[in-house]
A and B are shown apart, each in its own frame.
Chain A
Amino acid sequence: MKSFRFKVIVYVSVAAILGATLCWVLLRNPEAITDMSKYRSVEIGTVKPGEAAAELNLQYSGYEVVAENSRYRMELDATEVIFRITDKSTGKIWLNGFPADQYGDTVIPKTKRQLKSICSISYSNATAGADGAVSNAADDVITAYTALEDGIEISFTFPAYEIKASVQIYLDATGFRARIPREKIEENGEYYILKIDLMESFGSVIQGSDGYILYPDGSGTLYDCSSSGSGNSFTQTDSVYCNPLNDIDKEKERKSSGYKSILMPYFGSSAGDRGFISYIEEGSDSANISFNPSGAFIKINRVYPSITYRKIMSRLGPDKREIFVTEKDSKVGDLCVKYILLTDNDADYSGMANHLRDYLMQTGRLPALTSAKKLEQIPLALEILTGVQTDTLFGKKGLSMTTYAQTGEILDLLQENGVDSVYSILLGWQKEGYMQYPSSSTPASYLGSAKELKDLLVHNTDAANKMFLLTNYINSMQGSDLFNKQDDAIISFVKLPITNKAENEFYMNIDRQFNKFSSKDMAKYKKLGATGLAFDGIGEIIVSDYTKNHIITRKDSMLIEASMAKLSKESGFFTAVQIGNDYMLPYADYVYNLYDSDSNLFVFSREIPFYQLVVHGLIPYSCDIPGNMTSDFQLQKLKWVEYGSMPYFLVSDKSANDLRDTEIEDIFSPRFSDWKDAIIETYKEFNQRLLPIFNQTVVEHTYINPQLVEMVYQSGHKVYINYSSDKMSVGSNEVPAMDYLVVEP
């Protein structure tokens, strides 16, 4: 009897505990709905959509004028559904495709039609198990036209799929804009839209012609269309800013393999005396840029944007097989792309950079030339590795690589030797150490006292010297008391936290992190004496969170990151952002770890410093490879010159051998005493030779030959960079081997 009663008590208790847990899990509301209104002051990329004027009934074969302004005329062939834009002053024409009769018999009709596609939709039908793509040019489609103020809206209805989408094209002073309005997209049946490609063939370049494609991989890259070879078969598609983050391990693997993300959503092409540069003004958070190279049959190279309407992600099923899940409701907005049309001397990548820079400055995406800060010296970019976590017998323990006092000594020594301007970032100053997340705002006691840190920060901050505390509001690791997986970890739309295989690394909800930064951490940084903050990950990674009632889209994430930088700047902190996604540029005082290469993909011919050509002279930056972590320091120095970077080193008091029992894998020569002379010498050299051009914008960048680069600055200075081991002559000038030459105007 007693045992029966005991059993009942046990069962009831267990049932009650389980029930309560389930209720708590299902009914609790972690926080109120995300209030995005506080971030709206940092709007990114909104342009007024075209306004409908009248219905058009176009049935003519041949080109019909549909819009015109003082410089351009847009005509449309309603039979072929091809439009062309003519520069009235020069008579030059840009086409969105090629009429079918321009191809030989080897090209199948479907492909021919795709080459003039304005709108191509990838779809999925889960019920029928069908995936595929339809294009306005290749499939049964009902096309309707509406006149806009300066352009036209073309609506496509695909009856077989019960899908509808529209594209608006309208002229402006420098070219035109193309928009896919979100509100005009309809899905009335069982077919779901996954992706929409916009104007695949606009500005395409024929293989074998004198031209190239500009692709925004890393610092920028070109595909040379002039060779007569063929056989490239793969389309390169990358998400703008960063790939959708589904698996932290894969993301790390990509990074360590050398993949670089798109920092600025531009693309373009040059074909003889015509070219264009495009910029995704709206919807860049969900946009992709694709490069479709010439193949065995189609000798045309195309670069175009698309929008991911619905995300797809994989997860492991019960049988450990990968299953793909499609997002139920689309979260995207409009996609709007600005096309700047270029002719003659402007139709090369330098011209593209110049026009893009002007456009970005006009739209407030870059500081205007007049407001850009002019620096008196070229600062030395110095990252100082202070604290790291090391494995010991008793678990993880802080290891001092450079104490606060030693950091002060390093900076004093540099100053005594004529290094007057240093932008230094303290890595691992917190108690957790470098690359341990989330990072707190508490200094590491094993590096010195808080007072020592304060003295260090105050002592090394003035007009020419800035010191930054490195912060991170993106990454987190299991086991930290600053991170609660239940509330902080972001989840995907399949309702699983985004993590790694070991399930001990996560990304944090950026809205909660913004609140923490604004309400607590900023005051703590002030108290510590900080005058500069460097945001790791912010400006590099954008994450979406599908927490119920708390959804943060990639666009929201961009807004919040930009707001964080803006708040930091407005609160008096000198603000540094990592990598430098372009939406951060209006709020960044300094960009660090900026890519100085592309991803080294097979398909592309040559990396170029396109991003740097756009921003140089407007925002100071340093590139991502420290001079003391390369196999050839002189080569790296030349790259800094070409890419307009500050000289950059990563140092510590101790040597790389002390990092052996830590998780820092790729720092192999940080000891300051080994590099002291090289640092001082490089700083002096840069300031003696390059100071006149450091605050100037770049007007022209040319490869005179594969190993000799010519750069022309706004002031008229020319810089020749010789990467070869032989001296080279340019006119009357001689450029020494593995060196550079600055020629005054």
Chain B
Amino acid sequence: MNRVRNRVSNKTIILMIIVFSVINILVSTVAAKTSIPYDYTLDSANNRIPIPKTYECVGVISNISDYFPDEGTAGSLNSPADIFIDATDNIYIADSNNNAVLKLNPDGELVAAVTAANGIDLKYPLGLYVDNEGDIYVADNGNKRILHLDGTGDYVEEFIEPKTSLINQELAVFDPTKIAMNSTNGYLYMILGKQFLTIDANNKFRGFIGSEKVSVDLAYLLFQLLGSETQKVKVGKRQPVPYNNFHITKDNDIYAVSMSRTNQIKQINSIGNNIYNPGFYGEMSYEDDGTPVYPFFVDVAVSSNGIITLAEQHSNKLYQYDNLGNLLTVFGGTGDNKGRFGVISSIAYDSKDRLYVVDSARNNIQIFEATTFIKQVQDATILYNQGRYDESMAIWKKVNLTASNYPNALSSIAKINFKQKNYKEALTSYFEVKDKTGYGKVIEKLRFELYLNHFTPIALLSVFIIGLLLWLLAFLYRKCEKAENLLYKNSQTKFRAFLRMCLLMFFHPVRALDLVKKHRDERNMYPVILLPLMVIIERLASILFTNFTVSSISPGEANLMFEVAIVIIPYLSLAVCVYGILSILSGEMKFYEGFAATAYSLTPFVVLTPLMILVSRVVSNAEASIFYSVQKLIYLWVVVLIVTAVYRLNNISVRKTALVCLLSIAGVAVIWVVALLIFAFTSQIVYFIKEINLELIGLSR
């Protein structure tokens, strides 16, 4: 017996190897590229959309003449941590590992260097700010102070930890990293973990601002209520996520980036509330082993026209958003040439909206200028957000010419057309940008217009169709009533019997199942084969023809093998599990019956899916939820029929039926887990065989 089992398992493994090898070959894809340089943006599904270059590196500050921070590193920055550009475009750099602060003129030439040689003993400066008078404030991190210098770099005063009981030493240490000043009240702001600490000109504590509310979920509450002390400690206290960096605009708005997993950008108003659109910013990435990596924004800069740029350190990319949180472009990346970075540490705009990006690994500062394309995008976005649609439309059209796939342009053009009642144009743009909501809204409007313009014929046609459907239902019901008596008579062919059984299953499932039971020795293979086949065909048809507004998957993303597998595998595994469990629990059902009953239970899906596809073509956004609910009801109907089949075919109690169903589900889960294990195992074998194959090619040559 063992030998037989072994042989079977070996066969299975070989079969799996072949199957998975074939799948592997079928699903392997190859990325191809031309050599056109491009940046990208993201569509609503977070797919990267290539767009023309949005920023070009127009200059690099690296070797600074007359700067001698250390012997042997003349002219070189050493891990610069922060940059500030004043109103006249003088550039200030916190050169952290050289323990220096530099002031450069707009041409990048050294004006002043604050170093130990000049009598200012800085220790690891990480941030700086320059006020309107040109005085420099340095976050002298190593000395735990904020140093105030005049415009020539001479010492004025220092700010140390203000005396207040509100600074909890366990949670936050006075450790200045990033600083800025509110020009109205003259308070210095510095990041203190989860919030901003404010100090006045007399080094007095003026309060905290920007603390985020802590969300508490059910699991956390349960741990706090029921968990042991160890568990409570392990779960820890819920605290707001700390800020990484911030920027105060001329209007004293605070833009900050935090380490949270969503809502990473905050625009904090004068009373300390975040008024920026909540959402996820940046992109997720994944390690080779599948570990998710959340974006880590290290700095934020705001241009004169309110465009927000974030520096992300894992990917060394710059993400640019408008004031409503719409992504405009993503550029940069890790690399050795201009336009790419080693490690971004800080960013800032000058008065001409040129973006300065500090690279602490390459020890340089790259200067970026917006291309014509992104300038147009920014202008159009601002006008659109101000409600100046006509003006923005003209620019969006230019943007659309340069990049006909730019989602914001398509989306804005669609919205403006919609507002201007150009529904057909709006429909095209919404379709191109795959905006389900917008497309649905246009459908609704078009449908409404159609009703208004052709009310009488449409009303008559609707009445006729409803009448026809009712008549059809009544007709089928009558047929069904008769069918029950005619079924399995000698005169019936198996195919006609199958059709009538389907009908009966639709209207009188219990009677249908009783008939299956009654004629359990007369095997009819039509339901077993045809119904699952129909389910597969209709599933594929549904992917291909369901309107994209309510479709869950696009044809390009779907995989034929997978779609077939998700029908066949549950069908087979469920039928086998139900039969197996009932065999153990002394059920009456035969093997064939199990398959036939499961197949007949699919009837509602087979009958209703084509109707759902037709309905999807005219569903607007407002009815989408109804559509989804009906879809779920169909699935529920199928499940109820399967449970009923177990109950009726085995003459068992309701409780036992529930038990069988639960055990079957568990059985299916076990089968799938085993299949996954085999898959993992065979993947390794396939990998091994591929490696051997490569080696053999080499050996043979």
The stretch that binds A, out of B53-61, B418-426, B614-622, B653-661, is: B53-61
B106 within 8 A of A: no
Are B31 and A657 closer than 8 Å at their CB atoms?
A: no
Are B25 and A229 closer than 8 Å at their CB atoms?
A: no
With beta carbons under 8 angstroms apart, the residue of A390, A486, A601, A635 that contacts B337 is A601
Are A665 and B31 closer than 8 Å at their CB atoms?
A: yes
- Report the Cα distance A478→B47, complex, angstroms: 26
B218 within 8 A of A: no
Are A602 and B558 closer than 8 Å at their CB atoms?
A: no
A496 within 8 A of B: yes
Are A666 and B30 closer than 8 Å at their CB atoms?
A: no
Are A26 and B700 closer than 8 Å at their CB atoms?
A: yes
Are B62 and A231 closer than 8 Å at their CB atoms?
A: yes
A516 within 8 A of B: no
Are A296 and B73 closer than 8 Å at their CB atoms?
A: yes
B669 within 8 A of A: no
Are A231 and B74 closer than 8 Å at their CB atoms?
A: yes
Name the residue of chain A whose CB is nearest to the CB of B43. A660
Neighbouring A residues of B404 by C-beta, 8 Å: 655-657, 668-669, 671, 674
Within 8 A of A (CB), among B325-380: 333, 335-340, 362, 364, 371-374
- Report the Cα distance A257→B339, complex, angstroms: 9
Neighbouring B residues of A435 by C-beta, 8 Å: 32, 34
A497 within 8 A of B: yes
Are B63 and A668 closer than 8 Å at their CB atoms?
A: no
Are B54 and A496 closer than 8 Å at their CB atoms?
A: no
- Report the Cα distance A25→B692, complex, angstroms: 12
What is the CB-to-nearest-CB distance from A76 to chain B, in angstroms, rounded to a whole number? Answer: 35
Neighbouring A residues of B364 by C-beta, 8 Å: 602
A520 within 8 A of B: no
Are B34 and A666 closer than 8 Å at their CB atoms?
A: yes
Are A395 and B30 closer than 8 Å at their CB atoms?
A: no
Are A229 and B63 closer than 8 Å at their CB atoms?
A: yes
B543 within 8 A of A: yes
Name the residue of chain A whose CB is nearest to the CB of B52. A631
Interface string of B25-37 (1 = CB under 8 A from A): 1101111111111
- Overall SS of chain B's interface: loop
- Report the Cα distance A620→B404, complex, angstroms: 31
Given A26-B699, A491-B701, A600-B337; A497-B694 close (CB under 8 Å): yes
Name the residue of chain B whose CB is nearest to the CB of A24. B700
Q: What is the total number of residues of chain A having a CB less than 8 Å from a CB of chain B?
A: 79
Are B560 and A631 closer than 8 Å at their CB atoms?
A: no
Interface string of A654-692 (1 = CB under 8 A from B): 011101110111111101001100000000000000000
Neighbouring A residues of B241 by C-beta, 8 Å: none
B402 within 8 A of A: yes
Neighbouring A residues of B25 by C-beta, 8 Å: 478-479
Are A602 and B338 closer than 8 Å at their CB atoms?
A: yes
Within 8 A of A (CB), among B494-547: 540, 543-544
A370 within 8 A of B: no
Neighbouring B residues of A232 by C-beta, 8 Å: 63
- Overall SS of chain A's interface: loop
Are B53 and A477 closer than 8 Å at their CB atoms?
A: no
With beta carbons under 8 angstroms apart, the residue of B36, B371, B699 that contacts A495 is B699
B556 within 8 A of A: yes
A463 within 8 A of B: no
Neighbouring A residues of B64 by C-beta, 8 Å: 229
A359 within 8 A of B: no
Are A593 and B35 closer than 8 Å at their CB atoms?
A: yes
Within 8 A of B (CB), among A319-342: none
With beta carbons under 8 angstroms apart, the residue of B31, B75, B557, B701 that contacts A550 is B701
Are B690 and A503 closer than 8 Å at their CB atoms?
A: yes
Are B372 and A601 closer than 8 Å at their CB atoms?
A: no
Are A229 and B699 closer than 8 Å at their CB atoms?
A: no
Neighbouring A residues of B63 by C-beta, 8 Å: 227, 229-232
Are A258 and B701 closer than 8 Å at their CB atoms?
A: no
B696 within 8 A of A: yes
Neighbouring B residues of A669 by C-beta, 8 Å: 52, 401-405
- Report the Cα distance A549→B26, complex, angstroms: 34
Are A657 and B698 closer than 8 Å at their CB atoms?
A: no
With beta carbons under 8 angstroms apart, the residue of A26, A390, A486 that contacts B697 is A486
Given A491-B698, A495-B699, A550-B701; A660-B556 close (CB under 8 Å): yes
What is the CB-to-nearest-CB distance from B78 to chain A, in angstroms, rounded to a whole number? Answer: 10
B582 within 8 A of A: no
Name the residue of chain B whose CB is nearest to the CB of A598. B337
B240 within 8 A of A: no
Are B337 and A28 closer than 8 Å at their CB atoms?
A: no
Neighbouring B residues of A495 by C-beta, 8 Å: 695, 698-699, 701
Interface string of B681-701 (1 = CB under 8 A from A): 000000000100011111111
B464 within 8 A of A: no
Are A600 and B338 closer than 8 Å at their CB atoms?
A: yes
Within 8 A of B (CB), among A503-528: 503-505
What is the CB-to-nearest-CB distance from A487 to chain B, in angstroms, rounded to a whole number? Answer: 8
Neighbouring B residues of A259 by C-beta, 8 Å: 337
What is the CB-to-nearest-CB distance from A667 to chain B, in angstroms, rounded to a whole number? Answer: 7
Are B75 and A229 closer than 8 Å at their CB atoms?
A: yes
Neighbouring A residues of B362 by C-beta, 8 Å: 602
Are B30 and A505 closer than 8 Å at their CB atoms?
A: yes
B121 within 8 A of A: no
For A393, A664, A667, which residue has the most chain B Cβ atoms within 10 angstroms? A393
A548 within 8 A of B: yes
Name the residue of chain B whose CB is nearest to the CB of A434. B32
Neighbouring B residues of A656 by C-beta, 8 Å: 403-405
Beyond A629-B38, A632-B372, A656-B405, list 7 extra A-B contacts (CB 8 Å).
A259-B337, A296-B73, A393-B544, A602-B60, A656-B403, A668-B404, A674-B404
* Cross-chain pairs A/B with CB under 8 angstroms, 16 sampled: A227-B65, A231-B73, A252-B31, A256-B35, A393-B558, A436-B32, A478-B25, A479-B28, A497-B697, A602-B337, A624-B35, A631-B371, A631-B402, A655-B404, A667-B34, A668-B51
Q: Which 3 A-B pairs have the closest CB atoms?
A: A495-B698, A661-B556, A229-B63
